[in-house]
Amino acid sequence: MTQSHKGARRAATLVALAATLMAGTANAQDVTLTFWGSYGNGGNSAQQDALNEILIPAFEAEHPGISVDYVDVPYDALLQKLTTSAAGGELPDLIRADLGWVPQFADLGVLVSLSELMDDFQMYADKTYPGSLSTNLHEGEYYGLPLDTNTRVLVTSQAALDAAGMSEPPATFEELKAMADALGDTDMAVFADSGLGSWNVFPWIWSGGGAVTDPDLTVATGYLDSDESVAAIQMLVDLYQAGQIPNLIIGNQGATSTSDGLPTGRYANILDGPWMKAIWAGQYPDFEPIYAPVPAGEGGSVSVVGGQNIVLTSSSEHKDAALEFIRFTQTEMFQLEMAKSGNMTVIPAYADAQNDNDPYFAMFSDQLKTARSRLAIPQASQVDAIISGALTPAFQGDVSVKDALSDAAAQIDQLLARN
Amino acid sequence: MNRATASRTVPYGMSKAAARPNRARLMSGLTPYLFIAPGFLLFTLAILYPLVQAFQVSFYDWKIIAGAVSDFVGLENYQRALADPRFWHSLVNSGVYMLFTVPPQIALGLMVAMLLVKKGPAQPLFRVLFYLPVVTSWVVVSLLFKYLFADEGLINYTLGDFLHLSDGETSWLSSRWTAMVAICALGIWKGIGWSMMIFLAALQGVPRDLEEAAILDGANRWQRFLSVTLPAIWAAVIFVAVMLVIGGFNVFTSVLVMTGGGPGGATEVVLTYMYKQAFEYLDFGYGSAIAVLLTVLVFVLSVLQLKFFGNRDGGEK
């Protein structure tokens, strides 16, 4: 669609809207929905193009009188833009929101409870992955529907397997430790990650059979510092102190990144998401990543759910039209079109079709079956700061893992008590 | 010009002699305010109003949403800050940054200014080169320093492979004090040009006759610097010191870009901590309380500096 074409149509919509308002009728027919997201982040125009050139025109054709104006905001700027817009009362109708933001903004009162507003909410909710859906829950109500999803899996390289004399990627904690021993004094570290937040350490805690809180999100003490949780983190700390995990994990901003370290043979394994394929294809065209499930411990192979939800703001003046667009995002057409450019479907029924289109996604969809979501509480970003703040001295050997996790659990208890 | 305008607008029938002095005095009294007005208006809108607003917000559990009613919590946010070990940790980091960046910026800035005050063919070029970092974006130079101090960056290469002063494997940004070295180095490098510029201006005002008299009296360079130059530019030294102390406590962009306050909050400074409270955790009441505490601290420090150093010879100028 050309810019002038779109501009002319928008002008026509405005004129129509003004005319309707002047006529004094309550139900304006022509509405323009504003939709903010960060599909174009990282210069990936494929997703934005799919939305603007295929999906939105298809929706508008199906729903005469409703047009959708998608505004792309860089991911790093989106949270601040949402915050200032909320303060100024200028939020759009719809937002593609990071999982962690939904409880935060629901708590502020700027989002509409979809489970309350949509008669058919349950029907849509039932179709999605439970791990993705649960990130929309706040105080017993759902404030959004999953839009796209992803998770982290183990990524390794043939060079790493060769260096360790292995034929398969490490499938268990024990095999990972054995791989570390085999790599011994080589320049290759067995594992690297870029932080100690929830996204980084929860897969190890869950796979090790530990937990973060009780199922009702009321207390972390007794869960985050349970024997299983401690053992899982202790394994990472032991590897760190043996030089098998670089200090990138405690936040050394000067260390080689995971996306560079794996293809260049510095790191043997990393955990990462489905977006890496495109990044490596551009930067390391000769690199052939090998994907495998997160190594299993006593709790099995459990990863962490990532992705985005679609939410409706309470300031929206076109809620019915916006709900129509939300329903449209849950259709096979929308989900599969977005999957083509790397946004995995949130609906398991479409996973086969998605994986037929691109077998690459199969490993990620399998991992998603058991993946869990991070704490769906308004203070999720504080949880990240607490956990990484407590664990950093444990990695540096200044406190025991047990003490660090007990300390973090006590701080998280205070946050949970506020909800 | 005011006078001329005034005389032209005197109405007929009125004695020019009587009207002129009053109008003229009124106009010339108003003139400075008219010149100040646009700047003051901007200052009021962009600084004073947010300042007052932040002070108000600091007494509330602030809801950022337009029209939402916030709960008044009195001094709770302040009590929380004073009992918050992470706040104190960040304050210590800001203080350390201030202590280790302000004296070098003054000393090196003055030294460069002394070298560049004499006319020479390359003098304009050097002035520009030293001033260039000042006008460069903080984000750009912070990224630059982040790469310089990376594990495989130029600093490690120079220290290790080139000068053989270390093993070249220092993880500068991975622990508190080594990261602070990198952050302070950036602050000093970027700040020298600014203090140089102020000192260069001040050095133009050093009385030549005093200088010559001192030479005749047989004073050497160092004695002339201490007894003639320094007293003459003392007001500028105070100005630079006060501004740099304020700036030192306001360190923000370099920390956010180079370490993000990490690892594990080790290099958090007051403003990055405040920023996180407000814009990541949406706890604007607490963030504002931290901002007010910092403002009070900086204000008190500035007053103390002016009180202790401001009178020394400064009055002569």
Domain that includes residue B39, residue range: 2-47
For chain B, say whether A86 makes contact (Cβ under 8 Å): yes
Say yes or no: B158 and B301 in one domain: yes
- Give how many domains chain B has, as a whole number: 2
Q: Which of B171, B279, B281 sits opposite A252 (nearest CB)?
A: B171
Say yes or no: B103 and B200 in one domain: yes
Residue A23 is predicted with a pLDDT of 43
Residue B317 is predicted with a pLDDT of 39
In a domain, B59, yes or no: no
In a domain, B55, yes or no: no
**CATH for B105:** 1.10.3720.10
Say yes or no: B93 and B32 in one domain: no
pLDDT per residue as tens digits for the range A177-219: 999 999 988 999 999 999 999 999 999 999 999 999 998 889 9
Say yes or no: B248 and B112 in one domain: yes
In a domain, B206, yes or no: yes
Q: Which of A86, A252, A385 sits opposite B265 (nearest CB)?
A: A385
CB–CB of A255 and B265 under 8 A? no
Residues of chain A positioned with their CB less than 8 A from the CB of B265:
385, 388-389, 392
Say yes or no: B109 and B11 in one domain: no
pLDDT per residue as tens digits for the range A319-337: 999 999 999 999 999 999 9
pLDDT per residue as tens digits for the range A142-173: 999 999 999 999 999 999 999 999 999 999 99
Say yes or no: B117 and B257 in one domain: yes
pTM: 0.82
CB–CB of A86 and B66 under 8 A? yes
Pairing of strands B71-72, A141-142: unpaired
Q: Which domains does chain A have, with CATH numbers?
A: 3-151+306-368 (3.40.190.10), 153-303+377-418 (3.40.190.10)
In a domain, B54, yes or no: no
Q: Is A97 in a helix, a strand, or coil?
A: strand
Decide: B112 and B247 in contact? Cβ < 8 Å.
Answer: no
Residues of chain A positioned with their CB less than 8 A from the CB of B172:
254
In a domain, B69, yes or no: no
Give the pLDDT means over successive 10-residue stretches in chain B (317 positions). 42 50 77 91 92 93 80 92 94 97 96 88 88 93 95 91 84 92 96 95 90 89 90 93 94 95 90 92 92 95 87 48
Say yes or no: B101 and B150 in one domain: yes
CB–CB of A79 and B264 under 8 A? no
In a domain, B72, yes or no: no
pLDDT per residue as tens digits for the range A17-73: 454 444 444 444 689 999 999 987 656 678 888 899 999 999 999 999 999 999 999
Q: Which of B172, B264, B265 sits opposite A254 (nearest CB)?
A: B172
Say yes or no: B41 and B91 in one domain: no
Say yes or no: B260 and B304 in one domain: yes
In a domain, B135, yes or no: yes
Question: Residue A219's CB: how many other CB atoms inside 10 A?
Answer: 15
Say yes or no: B140 and B209 in one domain: yes
Say yes or no: B86 and B43 in one domain: no
Tokens of B124: 């304009």
In a domain, B57, yes or no: no
Say yes or no: B170 and B268 in one domain: yes
Top residue of B172, B268, B281, B288 to mutate, by most chain A CBs within 10 Å, is B281
